[in-house]
Amino acid sequence: MIRFDQVTVTYPEAATPALTEVDLTIDEGELCLVVGSTGSGKSTLLGAVNGLVPHFTGGRLDGSVVVAGRDTRDHPPRELADVVGTVGQDPLAGFVTDTVEEELAYAMEQLAVPPTAMRKRVEETLDLLGIADLRHRALRTLSGGQQQRVAIGSVLTLQPQVLVLDEPTSALDPTAAEDVLAVITRLVHDLGLTVVVAEHRVERVAQHADRVVLVADGQVTIGSPAAQLEGSPLAPPVAQLGTRLGWSPVPLSVRDARRHAAPLREQLEPLAPPAHPGAPGHVVVDARRVSVQHREVVAVREVDLQVRAGEVVALMGRNGSGKSSLLWAVHGAGPRHGGTVAIGGADPADAPRPAARRLVGLVPQTPSDLLYLATVAEECAQADHESRSPDGTCEALLRRLVPDLDPTRHPRDLSEGQRLALVLAVQLTARPAAVLLDEPTRGLDHEAKERVAGLLAELAAAGHAVVVATHDVELAATVAHRVVVLAEGEVVAEGPAAEVLVASPAFAPQVAKVLAPLPWLTVDQVVAAVAASGSRA
């Protein structure tokens, strides 16, 4: 269905090609997962399938890409629209019309599908994706998972043979991601669609994939998921657990792993998982009965939140459950309609700005909103100036986070992870007692995510109180001491991370699902315990 033949892609003004002599064949009806770190050439590979590379992005493509018998050399993306459907990471940014029904019809209008056929296909697609009740809704009012399903539907109406999805679930909470993945697997199984999907959250897709394409430094390998992911740092936690405990074949789903895990559970039964290092200190953040209201909607309702020095608290809950509103209310920059917040005894909303910055720092969901200067160095200097810190404080911080960052680069040219580090450095320049982060791992690859996890642990170790709102259950499992789960603006669960995460079907990390009901959260914990008990025996 898709054939790459000696494909080399070079972008203008790039020293090295983004893809080098790639040979790849993807057969009809396959669900093919593309994994690789940021900048590995993953997006280029996807773009080459739908023709955006090089027709839209510029650059030079040597070799040939043939999709459903059409050479992308002679067919720009619009001429491939009836064989390749493309869905991006942010569905809202790709919508052309206002309502669900019009959006589904848009691509068909472009291809001059007769009106009667259009009407029929819109109805069929609405049913296929289970969104018939949303047909008249405005796209902007839909939830993230619904928007992503509409985006998939809007390309399905052309009845393509290939579906290309670039990070379809990275902005979604775990439950919404499940919805979207269920739709995708259904399309593969029922309609025989060939699906190429890139995803950083490998654990969500690996079990559904027929084959896995690994992209690294412009080189591409393809193979069965088990073979490709065995021993890879990109592998999902179940596969890592299997690899390190020598299970064969390497499990890719919780179900497979549980079959292997019976003896392991017996072995771990008498042991207690290690507690997080470092005893939390005194209470730094003391928020009581905080309420936030957006017009008629109560976003946060009388929530109490205490965070101690040296403690990482993970805020979890589906999209729209009030996580961000709570963070902003605690910070003082967002609205708060009730309750009190004391950070180190003072309310940051009342404190003058420079003093407030020493109390609390917030890294928002889109960190780039904070950046407006032309170079990294200027941003750092501005941060020093704003927080009345000695010159060079911010830059020193940044060097510790990202050692090899060129200070003359434009902040917009940085990778997501580097930009996050820059904003974090800017916010840490004032040395706030409490650090709040909103979805810090969104759009990050595995390596950057590990760095963030390490960073959060070190912030806590240095005595900061850290609150992180996240959908990323593996991140929460790795770093959080305590977890607070919000729903409809209220706290529905709160307690030590192991207790809360293991008990929740949506937020349990893979290791916990494999070992339930035992309270183990991460691969490292389990492997260390097994090694210890093995040496004792």
> Is the C-alpha dihedral spanning 498, 502, 503, 504 positive or negative?
positive
CA angle 439, 445, 450 (to 5 degrees): 75
Identify which of residues 206 and 356 has a Cβ nearer to another protein in the complex. Answer: 356
Identify which of residues 184 and 466 has a Cβ nearer to another protein in the complex. Answer: 466
Residue 475 binding another protein, by CB under 8 A:
no
Residue 400 binding another protein, by CB under 8 A:
yes
What 292-297 contacts at long range (C-beta under 8 Å, 24+ apart), as own/partner pairs, is 292/322, 292/325, 292/326, 292/328, 292/329, 292/334, 292/335, 292/336, 292/337, 292/489, 293/335, 293/337, 294/325, 294/335
Q: Please, are residues 142 and 150 in contact by the beta-carbon 8 Å criterion? A: yes
Tell me the closest approach of the beta carbon of residue 515 to another protein, in angstroms.
28
Residue 137 binding another protein, by CB under 8 A:
yes
Region from 197-205, 260-268, 357-365, 521-529 binding another protein, contact rule CB under 8 A: 357-365
Tell me the closest approach of the beta carbon of residue 221 to another protein, in angstroms.
25
Contacts of 370 by beta carbon, 8 Å cutoff, 6+ apart: 364, 423, 426
Identify which of residues 16 and 116 has a Cβ nearer to another protein in the complex. Answer: 116
Tell me the closest approach of the beta carbon of residue 11 to another protein, in angstroms.
15
Residue 276 binding another protein, by CB under 8 A:
no
Residues between 222 and 261 with contacts to another protein, criterion CB under 8 A: none
Identify which of residues 225 and 361 has a Cβ nearer to another protein in the complex. Answer: 361
Tell me the closest approach of the beta carbon of residue 384 to another protein, in angstroms.
11
Given candidates 69, 114, 270, 534, which one binds another protein under the rule CB under 8 A?
A: 114
Token pair 């059409």 is at which residue?
70
Tell me the closest approach of the beta carbon of residue 98 to another protein, in angstroms.
7
Given candidates 200, 201, 358, 513, which one binds another protein under the rule CB under 8 A?
A: 358
Residues between 54 and 93 with contacts to another protein, criterion CB under 8 A: 55-56, 76-82, 84-86, 88, 90, 93
CA dihedral 189, 194, 200, 202 (to 10 degrees): 40
CA angle 326, 327, 331 (to 5 degrees): 115
User: Which x/- pattern over 505-534 shows residues binding another protein (rule: CB under 8 A)?
Assistant: ------------------------------
CA distance 375 to 380: 9
Identify which of residues 434 and 502 has a Cβ nearer to another protein in the complex. Answer: 434
For 25, the token pair is 């064949």
Residues between 428 and 447 with contacts to another protein, criterion CB under 8 A: 428, 430-431, 433
Q: Using alpha carbons, list the distances in angstroms from residue 427 to 337, 448, 521.
A: 25, 19, 30
Token pair 């750092």 is at which residue?
380
Identify which of residues 11 and 106 has a Cβ nearer to another protein in the complex. Answer: 106
With CB under 8 A as the rule, give the number of residues binding another protein: 130
CA distance 226 to 219: 19
Given candidates 29, 63, 94, 407, which one binds another protein under the rule CB under 8 A?
A: 94
> Is the C-alpha dihedral spanning 514, 519, 525, 531 positive or negative?
negative
CA distance 500 to 504: 6
Region from 197-205, 337-345, 514-522, 527-535 binding another protein, contact rule CB under 8 A: 337-345
Region from 47-55, 205-213, 240-248, 529-537 binding another protein, contact rule CB under 8 A: 47-55
Residue 496 binding another protein, by CB under 8 A:
no
CA distance 502 to 524: 16
CA distance 354 to 48: 49
